[in-house]
Amino acid sequence: MKITLKSTEEIRNSLNELIGSVTAKNLFTGYGLFKDNIMFGLYQNGTLYIRAEDKFAKYLQYQGAVSYLTVLPKSKLNIGNYYRLPKILIEDKILYKKILIQSIEQAKAQKIAIEIAKKNRIKDLFNLSIKHERFIPSLLQYS
């Protein structure tokens, strides 16, 4: 059995019961947790951190969740949008499932927004490159 599978077996089994098939990939100092190729969680040293931003992050903080950066303030990684949930939220399986689904949906929406933004860049359009994108501002300048 691969180290990633062995190290994340317990958390994956727990999440599989709630939201279906979850995979894990080895990352920098922990493991990324994925649902349908969308990373929604970070598993490190036996602790699960859930991805959250904006209002959802504020809701989790209100419920007692702690940011990854609060737990490891000297971290050189820019992953402040991952939160460790309090045990009371994890023990309430219905609420825990809703939080996981919300995290996945939020990550999925952000991934789609990034893909759409990339398609609007000139260098990503057919037959055009970065040199064309750089040339356009000079065309727009008035003499």
Chain segment 66-119, per-residue pLDDT in tens: 888 765 555 555 577 899 999 999 999 999 999 999 999 999 999 888 888 777
CB 127 within 8 A of CB 139: no
**Beta strands per DSSP E along the chain:** 23-26, 31-35, 38-44, 47-51, 66-67, 82-84
Mean pLDDT throughout 23-31? 86
Which has the higher per-residue pLDDT, 4 or 10? 10
Sign (positive or negative) of CA dihedral 64, 20, 94, 9: negative
Three-state SS at 108: helix
Query: Which tops the pLDDT comparison, 63 or 6?
Result: 63
